[in-house]
Structure 1
Amino acid sequence: MRIKPLSSLEKRRIFLVLLTILLLFIGIVGKLFWIQIATTESYSSRGVNLVKNSVVQRQRALVLESGRGEILDRDLKPMTGKIIKALVAFPINSYYQGNPQQINQLASILRTNTVQWLAFSRDLKEPQVWRTAEGGKPVMLSDQQEEQINALGLPFLKVVKMEDRYPSGMTARQLIGFIGQNPDRVMSIYGADLEKGKVALTSKIGGAGLEKTFDLWLRGIGETSISYFTDAGKRPLAGLDARMIAPDNTFYPVKLVTTLDLSVQQRIENLMDKLNIREGAAVVQEVAQGDIVAMASRPNFDQTEVDLASNNWSNYALKATAPGSIFKTVVAAAALDKGIVDPKETFNCEGALGKYGFTCWRRDGHGPLTLEQGYAQSCNIVFARVMQRLTPAELESYAHKLGVLDEVGWTGKTDSEQILHQLDTEEQGQLFGAHTPHNDEGVLMQTAIGQRDVRMTPLQASNMVVTLLHGGKGYSPRVVQEIRYQTDRVMEKFPIQLLDSEAGRVSAATSRTLVNWMREVVTEGTGQGLKDAKWKLAGKSGTAQIETGKQEKVNQWFIGYGPVDSPKYAVSVVIKNMDPTESNKSIPLFKGIMDILASDSDGR
């Protein structure tokens, strides 16, 4: 059989095909050389260290402890990071996973059944923790259960100590925040550490709250993980089966020491739940220097399953909302300081102003009232008349002096010269909307009673009370007082800080007057429901009408201090989006919080 010789055209085609294949092969080899040898420590424009990151990834097969710092209350009681005993199952040859009798015993020890256990343990691809449900929390084991499991001698099981960063029943969840994966943020903030292999794109970092604002300190120097070594047949290697990998550093993880009182925080949250508060917040500050003792927000949320689309994880204590009549404190401060109202002057309230549809909450009117009486009775007509004598600029100036338009939380430079805002996503207050005419008389009257565009946060409200109790001198409230190394040596301190305003301060005389007027609110005015509290109390009530969609709702407020004779605490509470027909919950909540503080003070 004769073989027909190839034509020159066919030879050229074959040559080109082979050349193309060769060039592709050379390209692939070159790329592999570039990735695995030439640029293993500086891959891509961001200089990612592939070797170190691959090691990090392998070590993260099963993380037992995140290595994050602890968050403690003022008495060094832990608020995060409970250590529990949990069961880990490793993916090894089914021959080593026990006989039917052992599996039955194991299921009995774990208080489950063999069907559920086999569904969990069969065909494992990587180490897994025995959990309450799919994706749920690890099941906490007792010492007895640990002994019984170890006695079974099953090589693919190991009881380990594991961190439950967010244990059930945890308090101050919105303030503490949560951690989660955010590769984009890791690259933008921790690019240098990513290059050095100190952090991976899959690392969990602070997503909100203190976890976010103090992430630089809290994230630590590495995780504690467990690895399991087998041969090619997935058989355990004697003496090298399970191995713990942990950073060796006596200084880390750090301790974040807050100003919070864990016991007070827990009891306040229990009270909010008992009162069935669906949406709202409460803030407690020490009068002495403005430190935050408790900060609670509702609704609550699960830090292990965060739904970013919902607002459950938002800290309502830091969110600005309509304040209603508590804003009359600002108007009264401006009127007193400016001397535009005579103490004996009276304003006649007939229930309505006669224009703009402006009315008082008491439809039949209060009759003649002084400004002092109008404050105690929360009369809208009195404050509308007073506002006619003030300019928008004067009102805005006093709102700044009392800190209700500004972020008031602790802000300053750290030892590394970095600007730190302790409170995550704290909002500013508001007097007028962007397109609201400032000089419109109807607008100003609504503004004077905390309606229209006025917005204030519960923290600003309680801090306003602290400012008045200090004669007009304001403080920037702290929630973290210091950071300590694991050895308890102080790493960073956050000193007490005054809240300075370019607008200046409310005078000491006006501050004393308003503090005294707050007493009359309780003895003769809208706060008489507080008369039977454990302490003598003082404060100001507020109800703001708002619209949610097409529904009319109200925000119920109460702010104040106690005890009257020697003030220790300033408190603000708000219950948001209440139906107008519902009974007032702000006064029972305020009273309950003050009773908790009174009991706590008696016990110390």
Structure 2
Amino acid sequence: MRRKRMIVWISICIAGIGLLLFRLAELQLLDTESFSKHEINLIEASVKQRSQEMVVDNGRGNFLDRSGNPLSYETSSVLVLFPFLKKMDWQVHQVAKTIGVSEYALKNAVEKSKEPFAYGDPDPVILTRSQMDAINEMKIPGVFAVERKYPLDKIPAAQLLGIIGENESLLKSRYGEKDFLPRTLIGLSGLEKSFDEFLVAEGKSKLVYHVDGEGAPLFGINVKYIEPANPFYPINVQTSIDKDLQMIVEEAVDKYDIKKGGVVLLDIKTNSVLSMVSRPEINKKAPFSDEGIENMMVKQHIPGSVFKTVVAAAAIDSGLDDPNRKFDCSKKLNGEPDLKYDHGMLNFTESFARSCNRTFGDIARELQEKDPTILERYAEMLSVKGGVGWKGDIFHLENFQQMQDEEEGRIFVSEDARKDRNFSALSGIGQHEVRVSPLAVANMMATIARGGEKDMVRSVLSIQYQNGAEMTEFPKEKLKGDRISPYTVMKLQKLLREVVVNEHGTGRWFKDLPYAVAGKSGTAETGIYDGKKQLHNKWFAGYFPYQNPKYALVAVNLGVPDDEGGVNPLFADIVKAVYDYNQE
């Protein structure tokens, strides 16, 4: 009996020891990087227990504006202090005097610290170069003056640039088994996502020291500076954004309380984005919880009468712009009296200037009878159908897209709609199934201003190594497909100018601006009601100066009542601001 008990106890002990050994192997060998259902990285946790660190640069690449100014971060010269100073007698008086703070404040900050910190965080005390040199010359262990990278509180063109975050599964799906540091940040939207392969961190720059269980130095008080071995990284992505103009335009958009919508400003000569503003703003606490994460300037929206520019081009080439022909602009598309817009009898040019729906509905029907695909063909020729963002081959990446979030425009969804007379009329005034992005509309205006030359829109000019050398550039590229004739372009230019100079034109508000403007308005019914009111998308798209075009501009306010949210004042203010900016 006693023998059996001993065997049982020995078996239990062996089993227990076996379980302990298995658990130890699991912890030390098998699941070191993904322990338990919580996917805990034991190696990272172990390192954290044995060391304290101050990250100076997270290692991810950066965005610059066209002049080289940082868009997503700023570099500040700060004083970094380590917690072990509280157990030392150090020259606190000398350091405090150098940076101009009280000795008590400096010592008290160290006493409260549990990990390395920049003095004054979250609003650190900024040091001058002479202060940095003086502090580092003291060679006090645990006291360093360093350049540290901070994210900007307000990032310009936030939706265009996009956001970053931690996502282990997405990291693995993008890069397979490639070895990355724990908690590597990746791009989740915008240019951060498009250029993630170039931006993803190869390593962090940080100050590190090893500690024992009580936080005291384990191997003396030597602090190590660790940085990635490759001196060319992290890289910089030079965008086409003009940071100063971007901030001016953002202020204008917020001045007019645009809840949903925004602005696109293009440089016509280089066909690149100078400014792009999207509202609502990104919700920093929960970016994917609402529409703030979406870049409204590259999404499809109902354009309304802005689309009449496309219909006008097709009409000119089809001989439907006879100046002697009159259209009854006192009636709606269905022939009923139009009590709101009773314009009387107007010819083609006057109809465009005053945005007569009846004229362009009738013309669209006539065009459809000749060729059911004609509106789509002219939409392609004017670059509002299909994507317009830069696309091409770079390095090992084929068909690389700068703006991966861009949605392509469309005119019809079904063959039945394409052949239906009523649907054609509605499409002719930019309603029904017509959807275009503000970016594409801006590019249409730039195309007309350039004489019909269709180019891809660039938001990034080049990728640069850390030392400023160019890794690759994104040259100006043509959009494929047919283009409108010089004669048609000339007539479109005159029509767009007539919108402004005509005493009854929908753009007459811009007649006295410092730059001569040409453009087209649009008010589209969305089919959505806020209580009893029909909501509208309100647009103005144009270019300036008229005689020597430099800028294409689109302003849009989405989902607002008919009697609210007009964009004419916003458009006008931006034209004035661009003029003042150039004078300065």
Q: TM-score, normalised by structure 1?
A: 0.82
How far residue 426 of structure 1 moved from its aligned partner, in angstroms, is 0.8
The residue aligned with 1:163 is: 149
Cα shift at 1:114: 11
Q: String of CA shifts for 1:382-414, please: whole Å, max 9, x gaps.
A: 111112212242222222222212111001110
What residue in structure 1 maps to residue 347 of structure 2?
Answer: 370
1:582 corresponds to: 564
Question: Does 2:155 match 1:181?
Answer: no
Shift in alpha-carbon separation, 1:220–1:383, aligned structure 2, 3 A: same
Partner of 1:569: 551
For 1:264 and 1:154, locate their aligned partners in 2 and report how far apart those are by CA, in whole Å: 44
Tell me if structure 1 keeps the 8 A contact 2:240–2:459. Answer: yes
Distance in 1 (CA, whole Å) between partners of 2:104 and 2:154 is: 24
Question: Does residue 245 of structure 2 align to residue 279 of structure 1?
Answer: no
| Residue 600 (structure 1) shift | 3.7
Distance 1:220 1:7 in 2: 63
Q: Is the 8 A contact 1:180 1:207 kept in 2?
A: yes
How far did 1:191 drift? 2.7
Cα shift at 1:183: 1.1
Show the counterpart of 1:415.
395
Question: How far apart are 1:140 and its partner, in Å?
Answer: 4.3
- Give 2:485's aligned residue: 507
The one-letter amino acid paired with 1:569 is Y
Contact 1:283 1:295 in 2 (8 A): yes
Q: Tell me, in whole angstroms, the C-alpha distance in 1 between the residues paired with 2:387 and 2:333.
A: 35
Please give the per-residue CA displacement for 1:436-487, whole angstroms capped at 9, x wherever unaligned: 7443333322222112232211110010112223343311011111112223
CA distance in 2 between counterparts of 1:491 and 1:57 reads: 39
Change in Cα spacing, 1:173 to 1:58, as seen in structure 2 (3 Å) is: farther
State the match for 1:78 in structure 2: 70
Query: Structure 1 215/20 Cα, relative in aligned 2: closer, same or farther at 3 Å?
Result: same
**1:190 matches 2:186:** no
**Structure 1 residues 183, 62: CA separation in 2 closer, same or farther (over 3 Å shift)?**
farther
* In 2: Cα distance, 1:456 partner to 1:228 partner: 55
What secondary structure, in the 3-state scheme, does the structure 2 residue paired with 1:451 have? coil
What letter matches 1:293 in structure 2? L
* Structure 1 residue 579 displacement after superposition: 2.8
Residue 375 (structure 1) shift: 0.6
1:203 is aligned to 184
**Pair 1:443 & 2:439 matched:** no
1:299 aligns with 2:280: yes
Partner residue of 1:6 out of 2, 26, 44:
2
Kept after mapping to 2: 8 A contact 1:280/1:576? yes
The answer to whether structure 1 residue 519 and structure 2 residue 497 are counterparts is: yes
**Once the 2 structures are TM-superposed, how far is the Cα of residue 202 of structure 1 from its aligned partner?**
0.7
User: 1:387: which partner in 2?
Assistant: 364
Offset at residue 369 of structure 1 (A) = 1.3
The 1:95/1:75 distance shift into structure 2, 3 A limit, reads closer
Partner letter of residue 72 of structure 2? T
1:252 CA drift (Å):
2.3
In the aligned structure 2, how far is the partner of 1:489 from the partner of 1:467? 32
Match of 1:46 in 2: none
Q: Does 1:24 align with 2:19?
A: yes
> Distance in 1 between the 2:59 and 2:28 partners?
35
Paired amino acid for 2:126: L
- Cα RMSD, aligned residues only: 4.1
Deviation at 1:63, TM superposition (A): 1.7
TM-score in terms of structure 2 length: 0.85
Mapped pair 1:221 → 2:202: yes
Residue aligning to 1:334: 314
CA contact (8 A) 1:322 1:555 kept: yes
Percentage identity across paired residues of the two chains: 32
- The alpha-carbon distance between structure 1 residues 441 and 159, as it changes in their structure 2 partners (threshold 3 A), is same
Give the distance between the partners of 1:257 and 1:20, measured in 2 at CA: 62
- Counterparts of 1:58 and 1:458, CA distance in 2: 53
Contact 2:79 2:127 in 1 (8 A): no
Partner of 2:54: 62
Q: Secondary structure at the match of 1:253?
A: coil
Q: In structure 2, the residue corresponding to 1:517 is in which secondary structure?
A: helix
Distance in 1 between the 2:257 and 2:201 partners? 39
Distance in 2 separating the partners of 1:422 and 1:560:
24
Report deviation, 1:69.
2.7
Superposition deviation, residue 56 in structure 1 = 10
Alignment CA distance shift 1:58-1:72 (3 Å): farther
Question: 1:379 Cα shift?
Answer: 0.5
Structure 2 portions without partners, runs of 5+: 36-40
What letter is aligned with 2:152? P
Matches within 5 A, 1:233-382: 233-236=214-217, 240-301=221-282, 305-354=285-334, 363=340, 365-382=342-359
Cα–Cα, structure 1 residues 376 and 111, in superposed 2: closer, same or farther, change >3 Å? farther
Kept in 1, the 8 Å contact 2:329–2:358? The answer is yes
Contact 2:380 2:386 in 1 (8 A): yes
CA spacing shift, 1:234–1:204, aligned 2, 3 Å:
same
SS in 1 for 2:288: coil
Matched, 1:596 2:577: yes
CA deviation profile, 1:276-313 (whole Å, cap 9, x unmatched): 3333211111222412222122233466x452212223
Deviation digits for residues 511-566 of structure 1, max 9, x if unmatched? 22111100100000110100110011111011112215655222221111111111
Distance in 1, Cα, partners of 2:155 & 2:405: 21
Unaligned runs of 5+ in 1: 44-48
